[in-house]
């Protein structure tokens, strides 16, 4: 039994190593190909995103709901007992996911648009959008990890608390029931990427892009995305990551691309966590 448990961190380390190797290789290959052909990075679907019919007034309920859940998460973090905190986090996470889905649905109804019109590109198939999302997600991992290490090192040198996010404390705590930990992992991999990308990239980004440059819109929405996670050590990495998600969406015009990128990142984060378990 003990030997089988020791295999888990080893497998996770190998998986993370392969992801970092693949991301570095793909990133360098793309860079040198563009340099040799003198190609600039093109985001072909930016104009398509600007034309998607979500009125600016929808920013108000989007910000109100996300801020409410961010504040609620702070309150849950003060729970005394870890098991109670984990259960509260799980309940809040799924209520959060369901609420975001309702917001997306109501915003689509308000704008009188369907899912395909609002979030997909007819000229890009779902398989291509997912494939590019996986590739872009793998490519951005090494850069985000390097930035995370740099931020953590600087923060620790100044004496700041660089503690990880609360979900990792719950996953590590042996008093938390296994089903709660499994549900938290499922939410992180299968629910959060979908609902957050539909909201932040699918709804919020096209609204902010109206009359503005892509860089400004991506930075503004990404800063908000990073801030509502209320985790100072992750602010800059999440900002960079979110800009990457926005670029992926603008490259294909399909929400499946940033969703796949988000899944790749969350899976890598979980693999890094389980790789460190002794």
Find, among 165, 236, 229, 225, the residue nearest to 198 by Cα.
225
Length reported for the chain: 278
Residue the block writes with tokens 């309940």: 91
**pLDDT for the residue numbered 26:** 93
How far is residue 48's CA from residue 116's CA, in Å, rounded to a whole number?
A: 13
Alpha-carbon span 157 to 161, nearest angstrom: 10
Lowest mean pLDDT among 46-55, 72-81, 209-218, 224-233: 72-81
- Under the banding of pLDDT at 50, 70 and 90, the label for residue 146 is very high
Measure the CA dihedral 203/209/210/212, to 10°: 160
pLDDT of residue 186: 95
Cβ atoms of 199 and 104 closer than 8 Å: yes
Does the pTM surpass 0.85? The reply is yes
Selected residue with higher pLDDT from 2 and 231:
231
| Residue percentage of the chain with pLDDT more than 90 | 61
Give me the residue label for tokens 């800063």: 223
* Helical axes 2-37 vs 126-157, angle rounded to 10°: 110
Flag whether pLDDT at 80 surpasses 60.
no
51, pLDDT greater than 70:
yes
Residue in 210, 190, 170 with CA at minimum distance from that of residue 259? 190
State the CB neighbour count (10 A cutoff) for residue 173.
14
Residue 119 has what pLDDT? 96
């Amino acid at each position: 039994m003990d030997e089988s448990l020791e295999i888990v961190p080893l497998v996770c380390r190998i998986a993370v190593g392969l992801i970092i190797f693949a991301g570095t290789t793909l990133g360098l290959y793309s860079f040198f190909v563009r340099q040799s052909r003198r190609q600039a990075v093109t985001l072909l679907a930016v104009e398509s995103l600007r034309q998607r019919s979500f009125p600016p007034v929808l920013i108000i309920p989007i910000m109100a709901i996300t801020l409410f859940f961010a504040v609620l998460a702070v309150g849950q973090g003060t729970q005394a007992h870890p098991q109670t905190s984990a259960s509260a986090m799980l309940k809040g996470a799924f209520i959060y996911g369901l609420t975001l889905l309702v917001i997306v649905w109501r915003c689509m109804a308000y704008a009188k648009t369907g899912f395909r019109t609002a979030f997909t590109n007819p000229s890009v198939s779902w398989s291509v959008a997912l494939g590019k999302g996986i590739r872009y997600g793998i490519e951005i991992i090494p850069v985000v990890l390097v930035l995370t290490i740099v931020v953590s090192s600087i923060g620790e040198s100044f004496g700041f608390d660089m503690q990880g996010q609360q979900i990792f404390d719950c996953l590590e705590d042996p008093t938390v029931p296994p089903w709660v930990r499994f549900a938290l992992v499922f939410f992180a991999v299968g629910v959060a990427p979908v609902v957050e990308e539909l909201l932040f990239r699918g709804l919020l980004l096209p609204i902010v892009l109206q009359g503005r440059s892509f860089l400004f819109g991506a930075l503004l929405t990404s800063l908000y995305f990073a801030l509502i996670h209320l985790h100072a050590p992750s602010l800059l990495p999440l900002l960079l990551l979110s800009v990457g998600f926005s670029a992926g969406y603008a490259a294909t015009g399909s929400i499946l691309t940033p969703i796949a990128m988000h899944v790749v990142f969350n899976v890598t984060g979980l693999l890094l966590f389980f790789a460190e378990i002794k």
